């Protein structure tokens, strides 16, 4: 050890507390400045476009996430800086023409698919197994094989009566509301219906009874807030793992902790009950998993614990958002509603004729749903961004080094004039061959993600959305209440959109 260093250390022996504190503050400040300079000018991502403030610190983007404003911020940054933007010291957002292939694709010959960022995912120790939404690429593939029988075409056909039953119950409840002459929050009804459907498919019975009671079950409400908590965890972890630790140990409200404990216990109890029941009187997910999975690939109880919540949430909240948003956009664009109404009411001569198969023939309604999911994607941000693997990757001409976090944010992609003409307008005709939109980059429309980690339930989700809207528009003339004219404005996003009431007045359909 050099003499000079020894003398430097010896100088602290006689230092006062004030001097030591001053030195510590100055040292921390110097290290912070050094880190900022490195992040902005010398970091491997320094060449990627983006605001210097975001390159310097995680704080700006973490603040946007914690405020529920990240979809708007990502769209703003891409509008200004282009298809590849550095949004924090080690994170990149992509919106270019090759992004889905390079970031979410199979990447044959390039080391395989990029794995999800799981730094803030629930620990395996919580359930004894990892869930599909937090699994690495290999584990995800195994879990997906185990779940595939529940999402096959055969399963969808056999589960159709269950789906129709809940949607028909929603229609009956809404008919009762029309007799009272009251405006109703149609967004709530779509949420209740889709949660009841998924609750039954996952747990084997009507566990939530949302439609029956016309209110949320506590499990559902806590699940929605779970996403909000996840966003805060993500934001705090990006700022500092120590900040996350401090928040979890000292600042988590007891009410929140109690709600989470109730939620976890209820999930475990529901899974235990379903798996103990064996066969049910109607086909749910478990009946197909147990009867059609290959030997050794049946989900264990621990795997069901880990996957149950996300199977319910992923198959319900997004469908309800797509349904309510499509209805809102149809109502605020009267010519599109007129065309959808004419198509539906001229196609069907009774409510019973509306089936999973028949709604797929409603070309204009299908186009309207796609357009609504483009204008206002149910999954607006990168729910699980990817972590760049060994060797890095190249996206739209920019090298992204190993260890970087990279994601595609649908709200930024689909509302960009670079990829879609009249991007912020609701124009279902763009999906029906309208020549004005022939140059649209349709490959950039991926509401269910893409590649080997895409949404396993997209077929069921599309079917539910089409049936819900077809039955609503067939049975009712729908009037949007004036106070909801700006329903989309100022919605906040915490993985899921936090939506205000969507108040409408329903009257029995006049088919004359």
Q: What is the tens place of the pLDDT at every residue in 278-287?
A: 888 889 998 8
Residue 132 falls within a domain, yes or no?
A: yes
Strands (E), 63-198: 84-88, 91-94, 115-116, 184-185
The pLDDT value given to residue 2: 60
186: how many CB neighbours lie within 10 A of its CB? 27
The pLDDT value given to residue 333: 98
Q: pTM for this one?
A: 0.92
The pLDDT value given to residue 98: 81
Distance CA 269, CA 448 (A): 30
Distance CA 387, CA 111 (A): 13
Residue 75 falls within a domain, yes or no?
A: no
C-alpha triplet 312, 216, 229: angle, nearest 5°: 60
Distance CA 75, CA 408 (A): 11
Distance CA 253, CA 257 (A): 6
- SS3 state of residue 393: strand
Indicate the pLDDT class of residue 422, thresholds 50, 70 and 90: very high
pLDDT digits (tens, 9 = 90+) for 348-361: 999 999 999 999 99
The set of residues, in sequence order, having a beta carbon less than 8 Å from that of 55 and lying 6+ positions away, is 39, 40, 43, 45, 46, 86, 88, 89
Q: What is the dihedral of CA 507, 333, 323, 117, to 10 degrees?
A: -160
Please compute Rg for the chain using Cα positions: 25
pLDDT digits (tens, 9 = 90+) for 199-221: 999 999 999 999 999 999 998 88
Question: Which domain does 239 fall in, by range?
Answer: 107-383+447-508
Indicate the pLDDT class of residue 226, thresholds 50, 70 and 90: confident
Distance CA 397, CA 49 (A): 12
Indicate the pLDDT class of residue 413, thresholds 50, 70 and 90: very high
pLDDT digits (tens, 9 = 90+) for 148-197: 889 988 888 999 999 999 999 999 999 998 888 889 999 999 999 999 99
Domain count, the chain: 1
236: how many CB neighbours lie within 10 A of its CB? 23
Single out the residue of 449, 482, 492, 494 nearest to residue 99, CA to CA: 449
Residue 181 falls within a domain, yes or no?
A: yes
- SS3 state of residue 502: coil
Q: What CATH number should be reported for the domain holding residue 342? A: 1.10.630.10
pLDDT digits (tens, 9 = 90+) for 427-440: 999 999 999 999 99
Residue 294 falls within a domain, yes or no?
A: yes
The pLDDT value given to residue 190: 97
Distance CA 105, CA 23 (A): 50
- SS3 state of residue 53: helix
Phi and psi angles of residue 392, each rounded to the nearest 5 degrees, phi first:
75, -175
The pLDDT value given to residue 484: 97
Who wins on pLDDT, 252 or 498? 498
Distance CA 103, CA 361 (A): 33
Residue 19 falls within a domain, yes or no?
A: no
**Average pLDDT score, the chain:** 89
Who wins on pLDDT, 43 or 251? 43
Distance CA 462, CA 380 (A): 17
- Cβ pair 151, 344 in contact under 8 A: no
Residue 266 falls within a domain, yes or no?
A: yes
Distance CA 455, CA 466 (A): 18
Quote the crossing angle between the two packed helices 458-475 and 301-331, to the nearest 10°.
40
Quote the crossing angle between the two packed helices 285-292 and 186-203, to the nearest 10°.
30
Percent of the chain with pLDDT over 90: 57
pLDDT digits (tens, 9 = 90+) for 492-504: 999 899 999 999 9
What number is the average pLDDT over the span 409-420? 94
Residue 491 falls within a domain, yes or no?
A: yes
pLDDT digits (tens, 9 = 90+) for 372-390: 999 999 999 987 789 998 8
Structure tokens belonging to residue 333: 């664009």
Lateral strand order in the sheet of 386-387: 84-88, 91-94, 405-408, 386-387, 115-116
Q: Flag whether pLDDT at 108 surpasses 60.
A: yes
Residue 413 falls within a domain, yes or no?
A: no
């Amino acid at each position: 050890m050099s003499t000079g260093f020894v003398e430097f250390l010896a100088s602290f022996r006689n230092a006062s507390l004030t001097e030591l504190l001053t030195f510590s503050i100055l040292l921390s400040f110097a290290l912070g400045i050094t880190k900022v300079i490195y992040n902005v000018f010398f970091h491997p991502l320094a060449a990627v476009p983006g605001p210097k403030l975001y390159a310097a610190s995680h704080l700006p983007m973490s603040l946007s996430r914690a405020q529920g404003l990240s979809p708007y911020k990502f769209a703003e940054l891409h509008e200004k800086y282009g298809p590849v933007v550095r949004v924090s010291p080690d994170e990149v957002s992509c919106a270019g023409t090759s992004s889905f292939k390079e970031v979410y694709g199979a990447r044959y010959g390039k080391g395989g698919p990029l794995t999800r960022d799981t730094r803030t995912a629930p620990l395996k120790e919580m359930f004894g197994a990892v869930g599909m939404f937090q699994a690495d690429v290999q584990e995800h593939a195994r879990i997906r094989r185990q779940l595939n029988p529940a999402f096959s075409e055969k399963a969808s056909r056999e589960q159709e009566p269950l789906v129709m039953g809940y949607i028909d119950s929603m229609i009956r409840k809404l008919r009762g509301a029309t007799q009272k002459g009251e405006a109703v929050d149609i967004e709530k009804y779509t949420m209740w219906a889709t949660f009841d459907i998924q609750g039954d498919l996952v747990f084997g019975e009507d566990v939530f009874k949302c439609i029956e009671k016309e209110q949320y079950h506590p499990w559902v409400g806590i699940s929605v807030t779970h996403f909000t908590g996840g966003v805060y965890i993500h934001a705090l972890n990006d700022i500092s793992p120590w900040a996350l630790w401090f928040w979890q140990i000292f600042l988590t409200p007891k009410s929140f902790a109690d709600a989470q404990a109730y939620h976890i216990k209820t999930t475990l109890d529901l899974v235990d009950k379903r798996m103990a029941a064996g066969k049910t009187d109607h086909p749910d997910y478990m009946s197909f998993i147990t009867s059609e999975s290959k030997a050794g690939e049946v989900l264990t109880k621990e795997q069901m614990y880990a996957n149950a919540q996300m199977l319910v949430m992923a198959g319900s909240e997004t469908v309800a958002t797509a349904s309510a948003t499509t209805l809102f956009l149809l109502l605020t664009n009267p010519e599109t509603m007129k065309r959808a109404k004419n198509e539906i009411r001229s196609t069907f001569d009774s409510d019973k004729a509306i089936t999973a198969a028949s709604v797929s023939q409603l070309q204009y309604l299908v186009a309207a749903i796609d357009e609504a999911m483009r204008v206002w994607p149910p999954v607006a941000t990168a729910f699980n961004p990817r972590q760049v693997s060994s060797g890095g990757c190249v996206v739209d001409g920019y090298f992204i080094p190993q260890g970087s976090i990279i994601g595609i944010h649908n709200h930024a992609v689909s509302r960009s004039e670079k990829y879609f003409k009249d991007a912020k307008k609701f124009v279902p005709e763009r999906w029906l061959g309208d020549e004005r939109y022939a140059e649209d980059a349709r490959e950039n429309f991926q509401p269910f993600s893409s590649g080997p980690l895409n949404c396993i339930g997209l077929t069921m989700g599309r079917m539910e959305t089409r049936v819900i809207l077809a039955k609503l528009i067939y049975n009712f003339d729908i009037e949007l209440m004036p106070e909801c004219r700006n329903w989309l404005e100022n919605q906040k996003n915490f993985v899921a959109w936090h939506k205000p009431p969507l108040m409408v007045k329903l009257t029995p359909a006049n088919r004359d």
